[in-house]
Amino acid sequence: MLGGLGESLVPVEGVSIGGKIILYNNGLIPTCFLELRVVDPPYGYSVASCSPVQPRQIDVVSLGATISPGEYVVIARTLHNKIVTFRVVFR
Amino acid sequence: MTESGRIGVKAVSTVIAAVIVLTIFLGLASAIYAGIFQLGNESGNLVKREAERAMEAFFQIYWLNETHVVLFNNHSSVPIKLLYWVRVNPDSGSYTVYNLFNSLDPAKYTVKPSGMKIVDIRTEVPTRNRDSVDRVVSERGSILRGGRCPQPAIPTLHAG
Protein backbone atom coordinates (compact mmCIF):
# COMPACT_ATOMS: atom_id res chain seq x y z
CA MET A 1 0.00 0.00 0.00
CA LEU A 2 2.88 2.36 0.82
CA GLY A 3 4.29 1.58 -2.61
CA GLY A 4 1.12 2.95 -4.18
CA LEU A 5 1.18 6.04 -2.00
CA GLY A 6 4.82 6.89 -2.34
CA GLU A 7 5.39 6.13 -6.01
CA SER A 8 5.59 9.13 -8.32
CA LEU A 9 7.62 9.39 -11.51
CA VAL A 10 7.41 12.74 -13.29
CA PRO A 11 8.31 13.08 -16.99
CA VAL A 12 10.74 15.98 -17.44
CA GLU A 13 11.32 15.95 -21.18
CA GLY A 14 11.07 13.73 -24.23
CA VAL A 15 13.96 13.33 -26.64
CA SER A 16 12.86 12.41 -30.14
CA ILE A 17 16.09 10.70 -31.19
CA GLY A 18 16.14 7.30 -29.49
CA GLY A 19 12.65 7.85 -28.02
CA LYS A 20 13.98 8.78 -24.59
CA ILE A 21 11.93 10.14 -21.68
CA ILE A 22 13.82 11.88 -18.89
CA LEU A 23 12.17 11.11 -15.53
CA TYR A 24 12.32 12.55 -12.01
CA ASN A 25 11.40 10.39 -9.02
CA ASN A 26 9.14 12.65 -6.97
CA GLY A 27 7.99 9.82 -4.69
CA LEU A 28 9.23 8.22 -1.49
CA ILE A 29 10.51 4.91 -2.82
CA PRO A 30 12.84 3.77 -5.64
CA THR A 31 10.88 2.89 -8.76
CA CYS A 32 10.99 2.74 -12.57
CA PHE A 33 8.80 1.92 -15.56
CA LEU A 34 8.43 -1.73 -16.54
CA GLU A 35 6.49 -1.12 -19.73
CA LEU A 36 5.28 1.83 -21.79
CA ARG A 37 2.63 2.23 -24.47
CA VAL A 38 2.31 5.37 -26.59
CA VAL A 39 -1.44 5.60 -27.16
CA ASP A 40 -2.15 8.98 -28.72
CA PRO A 41 -1.17 9.23 -31.47
CA PRO A 42 -0.73 5.43 -31.45
CA TYR A 43 2.93 4.63 -31.75
CA GLY A 44 3.89 1.40 -30.07
CA TYR A 45 4.62 -0.68 -27.02
CA SER A 46 7.93 -1.02 -25.28
CA VAL A 47 9.26 -3.18 -22.46
CA ALA A 48 11.63 -0.87 -20.66
CA SER A 49 14.89 -1.76 -18.99
CA CYS A 50 13.70 -1.09 -15.44
CA SER A 51 16.51 0.10 -13.23
CA PRO A 52 15.01 1.72 -10.08
CA VAL A 53 15.46 5.49 -9.78
CA GLN A 54 16.11 6.70 -6.23
CA PRO A 55 13.81 9.39 -4.76
CA ARG A 56 14.83 12.95 -5.83
CA GLN A 57 16.98 11.53 -8.64
CA ILE A 58 16.76 11.82 -12.41
CA ASP A 59 17.06 8.98 -14.92
CA VAL A 60 16.01 8.14 -18.44
CA VAL A 61 13.78 5.46 -19.96
CA SER A 62 13.86 4.60 -23.64
CA LEU A 63 11.07 3.53 -25.97
CA GLY A 64 13.70 1.76 -28.03
CA ALA A 65 13.21 3.68 -31.27
CA THR A 66 13.16 7.24 -32.54
CA ILE A 67 9.77 8.91 -32.27
CA SER A 68 8.67 11.86 -34.40
CA PRO A 69 8.71 15.21 -32.55
CA GLY A 70 5.38 16.16 -31.02
CA GLU A 71 3.14 15.67 -28.02
CA TYR A 72 2.14 12.12 -27.09
CA VAL A 73 0.00 10.41 -24.45
CA VAL A 74 1.81 7.55 -22.77
CA ILE A 75 0.46 4.82 -20.47
CA ALA A 76 3.05 3.12 -18.30
CA ARG A 77 3.24 0.47 -15.59
CA THR A 78 5.64 1.00 -12.70
CA LEU A 79 7.74 -1.45 -10.72
CA HIS A 80 5.03 -1.59 -8.02
CA ASN A 81 2.23 -2.15 -10.54
CA LYS A 82 0.89 1.38 -10.62
CA ILE A 83 -0.63 2.36 -13.97
CA VAL A 84 0.02 6.00 -14.89
CA THR A 85 -0.98 8.10 -17.88
CA PHE A 86 0.91 11.25 -18.81
CA ARG A 87 1.59 13.62 -21.68
CA VAL A 88 5.11 14.13 -22.91
CA VAL A 89 6.50 16.40 -25.60
CA PHE A 90 9.28 14.86 -27.66
CA ARG A 91 11.73 17.37 -29.15
CA MET B 1 -0.76 -31.28 47.60
CA THR B 2 -4.21 -30.62 49.03
CA GLU B 3 -7.25 -29.88 46.88
CA SER B 4 -7.22 -26.18 47.88
CA GLY B 5 -3.50 -25.95 47.02
CA ARG B 6 -4.17 -27.43 43.55
CA ILE B 7 -6.96 -24.91 42.98
CA GLY B 8 -4.62 -22.09 44.04
CA VAL B 9 -1.88 -23.17 41.57
CA LYS B 10 -4.47 -23.46 38.78
CA ALA B 11 -5.78 -19.95 39.53
CA VAL B 12 -2.27 -18.47 39.49
CA SER B 13 -1.40 -20.16 36.17
CA THR B 14 -4.72 -18.95 34.70
CA VAL B 15 -3.89 -15.38 35.76
CA ILE B 16 -0.36 -15.64 34.28
CA ALA B 17 -1.77 -17.00 31.00
CA ALA B 18 -4.32 -14.18 30.90
CA VAL B 19 -1.58 -11.58 31.48
CA ILE B 20 0.54 -13.09 28.65
CA VAL B 21 -2.42 -13.13 26.24
CA LEU B 22 -3.35 -9.55 27.20
CA THR B 23 0.25 -8.36 26.70
CA ILE B 24 0.41 -9.96 23.23
CA PHE B 25 -2.97 -8.47 22.33
CA LEU B 26 -1.95 -4.98 23.50
CA GLY B 27 1.34 -5.27 21.59
CA LEU B 28 -0.47 -6.23 18.38
CA ALA B 29 -3.11 -3.52 18.81
CA SER B 30 -0.49 -0.83 19.40
CA ALA B 31 1.56 -2.00 16.37
CA ILE B 32 -1.55 -1.90 14.13
CA TYR B 33 -2.51 1.52 15.49
CA ALA B 34 1.03 2.85 14.92
CA GLY B 35 0.96 1.47 11.35
CA ILE B 36 -2.39 3.07 10.54
CA PHE B 37 -1.28 6.37 12.12
CA GLN B 38 1.99 6.39 10.12
CA LEU B 39 0.15 5.58 6.89
CA GLY B 40 -2.38 8.36 7.52
CA ASN B 41 0.43 10.77 8.32
CA GLU B 42 2.33 9.78 5.16
CA SER B 43 -0.81 10.19 3.07
CA GLY B 44 -1.42 13.66 4.58
CA ASN B 45 2.19 14.67 3.85
CA LEU B 46 1.83 13.57 0.22
CA VAL B 47 -1.40 15.56 -0.24
CA LYS B 48 0.28 18.63 1.30
CA ARG B 49 3.31 18.18 -0.92
CA GLU B 50 1.10 17.86 -4.01
CA ALA B 51 -0.80 21.05 -3.08
CA GLU B 52 2.51 22.88 -2.66
CA ARG B 53 3.69 21.53 -5.99
CA ALA B 54 0.56 22.97 -7.65
CA MET B 55 1.51 26.37 -6.24
CA GLU B 56 4.89 26.18 -7.97
CA ALA B 57 3.22 26.37 -11.39
CA PHE B 58 3.56 30.17 -11.49
CA PHE B 59 7.28 30.17 -10.76
CA GLN B 60 9.28 31.81 -13.55
CA ILE B 61 12.83 31.26 -14.71
CA TYR B 62 14.26 33.25 -17.56
CA TRP B 63 17.60 34.30 -18.96
CA LEU B 64 18.57 37.89 -18.30
CA ASN B 65 21.63 37.65 -20.52
CA GLU B 66 24.06 34.89 -21.53
CA THR B 67 25.19 34.20 -17.98
CA HIS B 68 22.48 35.20 -15.50
CA VAL B 69 18.99 33.87 -14.87
CA VAL B 70 16.08 35.40 -12.99
CA LEU B 71 14.26 33.20 -10.46
CA PHE B 72 10.91 34.78 -9.78
CA ASN B 73 8.60 33.43 -7.04
CA ASN B 74 6.01 36.15 -6.79
CA HIS B 75 2.80 34.13 -7.00
CA SER B 76 3.06 31.33 -4.45
CA SER B 77 3.22 31.07 -0.68
CA VAL B 78 5.85 28.34 -0.58
CA PRO B 79 9.63 28.52 -0.97
CA ILE B 80 10.90 26.81 -4.11
CA LYS B 81 14.08 24.80 -4.31
CA LEU B 82 15.51 23.93 -7.72
CA LEU B 83 17.43 20.66 -8.02
CA TYR B 84 18.24 19.94 -11.68
CA TRP B 85 18.78 21.81 -14.90
CA VAL B 86 18.17 19.55 -17.91
CA ARG B 87 19.42 20.57 -21.34
CA VAL B 88 18.44 18.65 -24.45
CA ASN B 89 20.02 18.94 -27.85
CA PRO B 90 17.23 17.94 -30.28
CA ASP B 91 19.66 17.62 -33.19
CA SER B 92 21.87 14.98 -31.61
CA GLY B 93 19.36 13.49 -29.14
CA SER B 94 21.82 14.05 -26.31
CA TYR B 95 20.81 15.44 -22.95
CA THR B 96 22.76 16.71 -19.95
CA VAL B 97 21.58 16.94 -16.35
CA TYR B 98 23.27 19.65 -14.26
CA ASN B 99 22.94 19.34 -10.48
CA LEU B 100 22.01 22.67 -8.94
CA PHE B 101 22.28 21.32 -5.38
CA ASN B 102 26.03 20.87 -5.80
CA SER B 103 26.41 24.64 -5.66
CA LEU B 104 28.76 25.91 -2.94
CA ASP B 105 25.94 28.11 -1.68
CA PRO B 106 23.11 25.68 -0.75
CA ALA B 107 20.52 28.49 -0.78
CA LYS B 108 21.52 29.79 -4.21
CA TYR B 109 18.62 28.06 -6.01
CA THR B 110 16.03 28.40 -3.22
CA VAL B 111 13.63 31.31 -3.56
CA LYS B 112 11.33 32.43 -0.76
CA PRO B 113 7.69 33.42 -1.39
CA SER B 114 7.41 36.89 -2.92
CA GLY B 115 11.09 36.70 -3.70
CA MET B 116 13.18 37.30 -6.77
CA LYS B 117 16.80 36.38 -7.37
CA ILE B 118 19.26 37.04 -10.14
CA VAL B 119 21.90 34.32 -10.13
CA ASP B 120 25.08 33.82 -12.08
CA ILE B 121 24.50 30.28 -13.29
CA ARG B 122 27.88 29.69 -14.93
CA THR B 123 29.36 27.62 -12.10
CA GLU B 124 26.56 25.02 -12.37
CA VAL B 125 25.32 25.28 -15.99
CA PRO B 126 27.26 26.24 -19.12
CA THR B 127 26.18 29.46 -20.75
CA ARG B 128 23.01 29.51 -22.78
CA ASN B 129 23.05 27.89 -26.16
CA ARG B 130 20.55 29.60 -28.44
CA ASP B 131 19.27 26.26 -29.80
CA SER B 132 19.11 24.36 -26.54
CA VAL B 133 15.88 23.60 -24.72
CA ASP B 134 16.16 23.80 -20.96
CA ARG B 135 13.94 22.26 -18.31
CA VAL B 136 14.34 22.87 -14.60
CA VAL B 137 13.17 20.38 -11.94
CA SER B 138 12.16 21.57 -8.49
CA GLU B 139 12.45 19.51 -5.32
CA ARG B 140 8.67 18.95 -5.29
CA GLY B 141 8.73 17.64 -8.84
CA SER B 142 7.59 20.67 -10.83
CA ILE B 143 8.96 20.78 -14.36
CA LEU B 144 9.67 24.40 -15.26
CA ARG B 145 10.94 25.92 -18.46
CA GLY B 146 14.10 27.95 -18.44
CA GLY B 147 13.54 30.24 -21.38
CA ARG B 148 13.46 33.77 -22.67
CA CYS B 149 12.21 36.75 -20.72
CA PRO B 150 8.38 36.82 -20.80
CA GLN B 151 6.70 39.37 -23.01
CA PRO B 152 4.32 41.88 -21.45
CA ALA B 153 0.64 40.94 -21.71
CA ILE B 154 -0.21 44.34 -23.22
CA PRO B 155 1.97 45.32 -26.18
CA THR B 156 3.96 48.47 -25.64
CA LEU B 157 2.65 51.40 -27.70
CA HIS B 158 5.13 53.67 -29.35
CA ALA B 159 4.07 57.26 -30.01
CA GLY B 160 4.87 58.83 -33.33
What value of ipTM does the predicted structure carry?
Answer: 0.84
- Give the amino acid at A31: T
Render pLDDT for A35-83 as a digit per residue (tens, 0 to 9): 999 998 888 788 878 889 999 999 999 988 899 999 999 999 999 999 9
> Distances from the Cα of A72 to the Cαs of A43, A44, A84, B127, in angstroms?
9, 11, 14, 30
pLDDT over 50 at B113, yes or no = yes
Interchain CB distance below 8 Å, B93 and A18: yes
**Mean pLDDT over all residues of chain B?**
86
What is d(CA B101, CA B87) in angstroms, rounded to the nearest whole number? 16
Q: What is the pLDDT of residue A2?
A: 44
Q: Edge-to-edge strands of the sheet including A33-40?
A: A42-47, A33-40, A70-78, A83-90, A9-15, A20-25, A58-62
B15 conformational bin, left if phi > 0, alpha if psi -120 to 50, beta if neither = alpha
Q: Residue A58: which of B146, B4, B143 has the closest Cα?
A: B143
Interchain CB distance below 8 Å, B137 and A91: no
pTM above 0.90, yes or no: no
Q: Residue B62: which of B143, B119, B122, B126 has the closest Cα?
A: B119
Comparing alpha-carbon positions, the chain B residue that sits nearest to A60 is B95
Nearest to B93 among A10, A16, A24 (CB): A16
pLDDT class for A1, splitting at 50, 70, 90?
A: very low
